[in-house]
A and B are shown apart, each in its own frame.
Chain A
C-alpha cells in the first residue's frame, strides 16, 4: 500500500471492519481521552470504521498527503488543559506546539494553522486575550502563520473556560519518509531530553500539589530540532512526540505498528529528580507521564552518533540520549532493562495513570 494518497481519489473502505461495540464501557470515561488502550479502542471501533479512508489508516500523528504532486503533512489536535496557564506555558502555547509537533514528526515544517476557540459563557475577555496573545507568540516562535479560525460560545457550565482546536499543514521535504513501518531491528532509540516534565508541571498546579521545587512545562515547538536532525540524514525511520501516555505509549505504538521489539535501558532514560520524586510520591511511572516538547527517534545505527550530535547542538536537544534499540526478540512488545539488571514489560497504558492509595 502506498503511504501517500490523492485526496480526490476513491476511499478504500474494504480495509475497514464493522464497528464493534465497546466491550465494557457503554459511556465515555476519562480514560477514552488518555492516549492509551481505551483511546485506541475508540478510534479503532468507532471513528475509523465510520470515516474510512486510506490516509487515516496510516494512523500517524499527522496524515501524509499527496496533493497536486506536492507531499503535505496535515494534522489536528484539541486542547482542553486545566488550568489555562501553568508554569512554563499556557493552553495557547500548547495549541500551537501540539499541532506543529505532530507535523514535525512527519518531517514537515508547519506552514499554516487554523485555530478554533470554544469559549464558555462567563469567561473573562481579558483571559481570552491573554491566551490569544500566547498563541500568537508561540506561532511566531514556531515560524507558522495562523491562517484561519473560528469562535463558538457554549453556555456556562458546558465548558472549562476555553477549549482550542488547531489544525496545521506543512510540506514534507523530498527524501523524507518517517513512519513506524520503516523501523528495523538494530535501530537506535534516542530521546531528545528529560521526560515527564510537562505532566508533572500540570499536576503540580492542577491538584494543588507542591513538590518543593517548581517544575516548568517543557512545552516547545520541535520543527527546528527535526530540521537539524534531517540535515544530518533524511534517513530517520520514525519520530514521535510522546505526549499523552508518555514515552511508554509512543514506544508501544511504534512497536505495534512496526512489528519490531523495543528494549529500553531504564537507567539511561533521563528523568529529572523533581519528576522522579513527584512520581514516587504519587505512585506514577515517569514513562507514562505526558511531555510537550520532547521527541523520540528511531535512527539507523550507522547514523546514530551523527544524529545525536546534531540534536545536542540544538537547544531543544541538548540533553538527548540513546535509551535503547529495536530488536528481533519479542516483536511488538516494549521491554525495559531495570537498573538492577532484571527485565519488565512496558505496556500501553489503559487510560490515565491513577495515583495510588499509599
Chain B
C-alpha cells in the first residue's frame, strides 16, 4: 500500500502530461471503460489537465450503474421477506429501484446487512441455519470470481441456506456493442485493469483489429490513467490499433487461470440486460444448472416485477458515452445524489455522481458565463 503516494506523484504526472501535450496534434475521443477510472479522472481533475483535443468519454463500467432495475427490484422483494438475511456490498444499498432502495427496506424491518466480502455472507449463513442468506452478486469480471468461489464453497461445505442473486456482466461484449452503435464516437479504449488481471488480454486483439481501435490496459491511480492516455494517444497519432498493457504490475497476459476456472465451473455465459442500455448478447453470467439450488432467483421465484424507470433519466446515453452527465436536463436539478433518478447519480463510481460531486463548480461557472447578466 505504500505505493499509493508514488502513483499520485505530481512531478511524474507533470512529465506524463507534458509528453501527452507534445504528442497530440488533433482531436481524439478516448473511452475509459471502468467507473473507478472515471472517478480517479474527475476526483483528481485529470481531464482539466489534458490537452483540449483529448476528450475522455466515460464508459459503462460501473457495476452498480448497469445492474438492471428489474434485478434491483428483485433484490428489494427478496430482502423484504422475513426469513431472509440479505447481504450486499455497501454501494448497492442506495441504488434506487422502482420507488425505494435497500436502505428503505431495512428501515421497514428487512434484515439487510453490508458485508465487505461474499465470504462474510457465507459465514452469516453458517451462523444462521434457520434463515435464508442471500448475497447480491453484481459486478464485472473483477468481482465474479470471489462470488463464484462463495457458491462453490457453499456447495462443498453443505450450506444449503446460502444463495446468490446474480447480475454479473462481461466487458468485451459491451465494447463490441458500443463500437457497433451507429453514432459511436469512441476512437480508443482505456481497458479496465482489474478486469484484465482476472481475464487476461486474450479477448481484446480481435476487437482492436475488427474495430481498428487501440485498447490500452490501464490501472486506477492518477499516474496509471495518464500513462494509459499517453500510450493510447501515441497509437492514435501513429495510426496504430494494438492491445497494449500499461498495467503490467497487476495484469499478466494470461490473467488468473485459477479465477477463470472458478468462473467456468460455477457460471455460464448468458445474454444480460444493462440498465439504461438494454440487452447485450452474451454479456453476462448466471449460475450454471449444477448450482441452481444456490440461485436466489430460482429459490425465491420472484415473478411479476413491474419496473418503472423515470422517463427523464438519460443515464443510458451517459453509459454509452453519447452524453456527458451535465448535458442531461435533469442533472443537478431534479436529479442529484440526494434524489437520484438513475444509478449513475447514486453509485460511488457513477459518472453523473462524479460530475455532481466534483465538477459542480466548473459547470455552474460555465453556465454563469454563458448566460447574460440580467
A interface residues (Cβ-Cβ under 8 A, vs B): 23-31, 37, 207, 209, 212, 267, 273, 276-277, 280-283, 330, 333, 335, 338-345, 347, 350-351, 354-358
CA distance A358 to B107 in the complex (A): 26
Instruction: Show 12 residue pairs from A and B whose CB-CB distance is below 8 angstroms, ordered by the A residue.
Output: A27-B108, A30-B103, A276-B5, A330-B365, A339-B8, A342-B45, A342-B46, A342-B49, A344-B43, A350-B338, A354-B94, A357-B139
B291 contacts A by Cβ under 8 Å: no
Q: Does B64 contact A (CB under 8 A)?
A: yes
**Residues of B participating in the A interface, judged by any CB pair closer than 8 Å:** 1-2, 4-5, 8, 10, 13, 36, 42-49, 63-64, 89-94, 103-104, 106-108, 114, 116, 138-140, 142-143, 194, 222, 337-339, 348-349, 356-362, 365
Contact, CB under 8 Å: A355 / B1: no
Majority-rule SS of A interface residues: loop
* Cβ contact of A354, chosen from B5, B90, B138, cutoff 8 A: B90
Contact A357/B89 with A330-B361, A340-B10, A345-B358 known, Cβ cut-off 8 Å: yes
Contact A343 B45 (CB under 8 A): yes
CA distance A350 to B94 in the complex (A): 11
User: What's the nearest-Cβ distance from chain B to residue A208, in Å?
Assistant: 8
Which of A31, A276, A355 has a CB less than 8 Å from the CB of B89?
A355
Which residues of the other chain, A, contact B4 by a CB distance below 8 angstroms? 276-277, 280
A96 to chain B, nearest CB (A): 30
Please measure, in the bound complex, the distance between the C-alpha atom of A27 and the C-alpha atom of B4, giving whole angstroms: 40
CA distance A26 to B8 in the complex (A): 43
When the two chains form their complex, are residues A358 and B48 in contact, meaning their CB atoms are under 8 A apart? no
CA separation between A31 and B49, bound complex, in Å? Answer: 35
A357 to B64, CA, bound (A): 8
In angstroms, Cα B116 to Cα A1, docked, is: 49
Q: When the two chains form their complex, are residues B43 and A338 in contact, meaning their CB atoms are under 8 A apart?
A: yes
Query: Whole-angstrom distance from the CB of A187 to the nearest CB of chain B?
Result: 20
Asked whether A358 lies within 8 Å of B45 as measured between CB atoms, the reply is no
Q: How far is the CB of A308 from chain B (nearest CB, A)?
A: 24
- Complex CA gap A28/B106 in Å reads 10
> Looking at chain B's contact residues, is the secondary structure mostly helix, strand, loop, or mixed?
helix
Contact B361 A333 (CB under 8 A): yes
Residues of A within 8 A of B360 (CB): 333, 345, 347
Residue contact A29 to B349, C-beta cutoff 8 Å: no
The CB with the most chain B CB atoms within 10 A, among A26, A333, A339, A340, is that of A340
**Given A355-B114, A357-B139, 8 extra CB contacts under 8 A:** A27-B107, A30-B106, A330-B365, A338-B45, A342-B45, A344-B357, A345-B358, A358-B36
B116 CB contact (under 8 Å) in A207, A280, A345: A207
**Residue on B nearest A209 in the bound complex, by CB:** B116
Nearest 8 pairs of A and B residues by beta carbon = A342-B45, A354-B90, A344-B358, A27-B107, A277-B1, A355-B90, A357-B89, A29-B103
| CB of B284, distance to nearest CB on chain A (Å) | 16
- B94 CB contacts on chain A under 8 angstroms: 350-351, 354
Are A339 and B10 closer than 8 Å at their CB atoms? yes
Q: Which residues of B contact A344 (CB under 8 A)?
A: 42-45, 357-359
Contact B45 A355 (CB under 8 A): no
Given contacts A280-B1, A354-B94, A340 and B361 within 8 Å (CB-CB): no
Please state if B44 and A338 are interface contacts (CB–CB under 8 Å): yes
Q: How far is the CA of A241 from the CA of B121 in the complex (A)?
A: 36
**B357 shortest CB reach to chain A, Å:** 5
Q: Closest residue of chain A to B62, judged by CB?
A: A357
Q: Which of A207, A341, A356 contacts B349 (CB 8 A)?
A: A356
Q: List B contacts of A347 (CB < 8 A).
A: 356-357, 360
Q: Which chain B positions have C-beta within 8 A of A212?
A: 1
* Docked pose: A340 CA to B44 CA in angstroms: 7
* A342–B1 CA distance with the chains assembled, in angstroms: 24
Docked complex Cα distance between A26 and B103 (Å): 11
Closest chain-B Cβ to A122's Cβ sits at a distance in Å of: 19
* Docked pose: A26 CA to B358 CA in angstroms: 29
Inter-subunit contact B104/A25 (CB<8 Å): yes
Q: Determine which of B93, B338, B361 lies in contact with A343 in the assembled complex, contact meaning CB atoms within 8 Å.
A: B361
CB-CB under 8 A from B138, the residues of chain A are 357
- B207 smallest CB distance to A (angstroms): 23
Give the one of A37, A273, A341 with max B CB within 10 A.
A341
Closest to A283 in B: B348
A27, A31, A207, A358: which contacts B63 (Cβ < 8 A)? A358
> What's the minimum C-beta distance from B346 to chain A, rounded to whole angstroms?
9
The smallest C-beta distance from B245 to any residue of chain A, in angstroms, reads: 20
Quote the shortest CB–CB distance from B226 to chain A (angstroms). 9
Chain A residues contacting B93 (CB-CB under 8 Å) are 354
Measured between alpha carbons, how far is A80 from B114 in the docked complex, in Å?
Answer: 19
Say yes or no: B1 contacts A37, CB within 8 Å.
Answer: no
User: Is the CB–CB distance between B46 and A340 below 8 Å?
Assistant: yes
B76 to chain A: closest CB distance in Å? 14
Please, how many angstroms separate the alpha-carbon atoms of A26 and B104 in the complex? 8
Q: Are B103 and A356 in contact (CB under 8 A)?
A: no
Instruction: Let me know if B106 and A29 touch, CB within 8 A.
Output: yes
Closest beta carbon of chain A to B198's beta carbon, Å:
11
Task: Give CA–CA (A345, B94) in the complex, Å.
Answer: 21
Cα-based distance from A357 to B44 in the complex (angstroms)? 20
Closest to A212 in B: B1
Return chain B residues, CB-CB under 8 Å to A355. 89-91, 114, 116
- Residue contact B116 to A341, C-beta cutoff 8 Å: no
Residues on B with C-beta less than 8 A from A267 are 10
Which chain B residues lie closer than 8 Å to A27 at the CB level?
A: 104, 107-108
B337 CB to nearest A CB, Å: 5
Q: How far is the CA of A282 from the CA of B362 in the complex (A)?
A: 28
Give Cα A31–Cα B101 distance, bound, in whole angstroms: 13
Task: Name the B residues within 8 Å of A351 (CB-CB).
Answer: 94, 103
Contact B348 A356 (CB under 8 A): yes
Contacts of B365 in A (CB 8 A): 330
- Contact status B44-A358, CB under 8 Å: no
B10 and A24: CB pair below 8 A?
Answer: no
Query: Given A344-B45, A345-B357, is A273 in contact with B36 using a C-beta cutoff of 8 Å?
Result: no
Chain A residue numbers with a CB within 8 Å of B361 are 330, 333, 335, 343, 345
Chain A residues with Cβ below 8 Å from B46 are: 340, 342
**With A29-B107, A345-B359, A356-B90 as contacts: A339 and B116 at CB distance below 8 Å:** no
**Complex: chain A residue closest to B103, CB-CB:** A29
Instruction: Give the CA-CA distance A350 to B256 in the complex, in Å.
Output: 38
B107/A28 in contact, CB under 8 A? yes
**CA distance in complex: A344, B47 (Å):** 11
**B44 cross-chain contacts in A, Cβ below 8 A:** 338-340, 342, 344
Contact A358-B194, Cβ < 8 Å, known A209-B116, A340-B46, A342-B44: yes
B48: chain A residues at CB < 8 Å are: 342-343
